[in-house]
Amino acid sequence: MWLKNLIASIIGKKQLPNGALLVDARTPQEHQTGVIAGSILFQLDQLPEQALTKLGNQQTPIVVYCASGVRAIAARRQLKRMGYLQVINGGGIQNVAESTGEPIIKLL
Task: Label residue 102 by pLDDT band (50, 70, 90).
Answer: confident
Confidence (pLDDT) at 56: 76
The answer to whether residue 4 scores a pLDDT higher than 90 is no
The average pLDDT across 21-45 equals 91
Beta bridge mates, 33? none
**What span, in angstroms and rounded, lies between the C-alpha atoms of 75 and 77?**
5
pTM of the model: 0.81
* Mean pLDDT to the nearest integer, 61-70: 93
Beta bridge partners of 23: 40, 64
Buried-exposed string 31-61: b where 16+ CB fall within 10 A, e elsewhere: beebbbeebebbbbeebeeebeeebeeeeeb
